[in-house]
């Protein structure tokens, strides 16, 4: 039995994930990871859009200037989540 590995393609975590089990287990865990990445990407995009709407609404309001600046800073710190996967078929290492 060959362990299947998965190399995520993102800036945060560049580790190789080794999945024990057969290919069906690998496909199931990979599908779950992809769904989680898609949910995370959608969540970040929604959060950015919500903050950007606040900024657009109150950008020229003097009373909200500090809030707008903090939201702009927070938008800059949010990282885009990419949904990419690279597959490898590894030999068994003994």
Percent of the chain residues past pLDDT 90, beyond the cut? 33
Tell whether 50 is covered by a domain.
yes
What is the domain count for the chain?
Answer: 1
Tell whether 67 is covered by a domain.
yes
Q: What is the pLDDT confidence band of residue 1, given thresholds at 50, 70 and 90?
A: very low
CB pairs under 8 A, 24+ apart, for 26-32? 30/6, 30/85
Q: Is the pTM of this model over 0.75?
A: no
Tell whether 94 is covered by a domain.
no
Higher pLDDT, 65 or 16: 65
What pLDDT, on a 0 to 100 scale, did the predictor assign at position 68? 94
Residue 86: C-alpha distances to residues 27, 29, 67, 91 (Å):
13, 14, 41, 16
What pLDDT, on a 0 to 100 scale, did the predictor assign at position 4? 52
Q: What is the pLDDT confidence band of residue 3, given thresholds at 50, 70 and 90?
A: low
Residue 69's domain comprises 4-89
Q: What is the pLDDT confidence band of residue 47, given thresholds at 50, 70 and 90?
A: very high
Residues 81, 44 contacting (CB under 8 angstroms): yes
């Amino acid at each position: 039995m060959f362990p299947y590995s998965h190399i995520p393609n993102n800036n945060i975590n560049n580790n190789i994930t080794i999945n024990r089990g057969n290919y069906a287990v690998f496909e199931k865990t990979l599908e779950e990871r992809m769904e989680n990445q898609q949910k995370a990407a959608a969540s970040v995009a929604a959060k950015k859009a919500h903050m950007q709407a606040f900024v657009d609404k109150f950008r020229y309001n003097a009373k909200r200037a500090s809030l707008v600046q903090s939201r702009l800073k927070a938008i800059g710190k949010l990282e885009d989540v990419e949904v990419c996967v690279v597959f490898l078929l590894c030999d068994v290492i003994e």
